[in-house]
Chains A and B, each alone.
Chain A
């Protein structure tokens, strides 16, 4: 079974801090994704990566950056956390190219910015 592991289930940080959310997958997937999930808004794509050191902006990239130094690891960075970034963050991975390939999700990190 594919395993996507997010480093923290719950995280509390302060406004202005630099925050790192880590995600690791064990299935040698080329594609990795970061979403945020908010009530009434569903899932929105922040960034995705289709190869090491490659990244593409999703629908809501403002205030975020990402890093993909190794194939199995994809990090989401909040450069200067703000209260409106309090949310559930979900990481996913998939094989590339074919749109039939499903995405496999981690259990999420619930981030609170105080």
Chain B
């Protein structure tokens, strides 16, 4: 079945550092790919998405590119802020028609001033 693998956290960075969170997937066909973010005490929010190979999703300074050849969707940000501290989930959506999501286990990011 489908699966998503994320790098384990926590990832600890200083403010203004460069961020990469790795995500690779296994799926039949061509899924859509998502990054969700969960701030403390809240539900998940969509951060960005990409629906086909070579698409780049971007939002709030975060970017991720759908790489079919490496089955990856790594999240990057050039300069993190303390307010970016959260748990980040990579997910894929199959094309079964129900839009169900398969999530990675999440990566906690901690940014210090």
Contacts and interface: CB of A to CB of B under 8 A. Distances in A.
A78 to B, nearest CB: 20
Contacts of A105: 36, 43-45
A48 interface: yes
A106 B94 CA distance: 22
Contacts of A76: none
B31 to A, nearest CB: 7
Nearest to B44: A105
Given A90-B44, A97-B97, A102 B105 contact: no
Q: Classify chain B: how many residues form its interface, as a range.
A: 20 to 34
Contact of B101 (A4, A45, A56, A106): A45
A106 B99 contact: no
Contacts of A100: 32, 49, 51, 93
29 contacts: A31-B98, A31-B99, A33-B101, A42-B89, A42-B105, A42-B106, A43-B106, A45-B101, A48-B98, A56-B98, A90-B43, A92-B44, A95-B99, A96-B97, A97-B99, A99-B93, A99-B95, A100-B32, A100-B49, A100-B51, A102-B34, A103-B99, A103-B101, A104-B46, A105-B36, A106-B43, A107-B42, A107-B43, A108-B43
Interface of A: 4, 31, 33, 40-45, 48, 50, 56, 58, 90, 92, 94-108
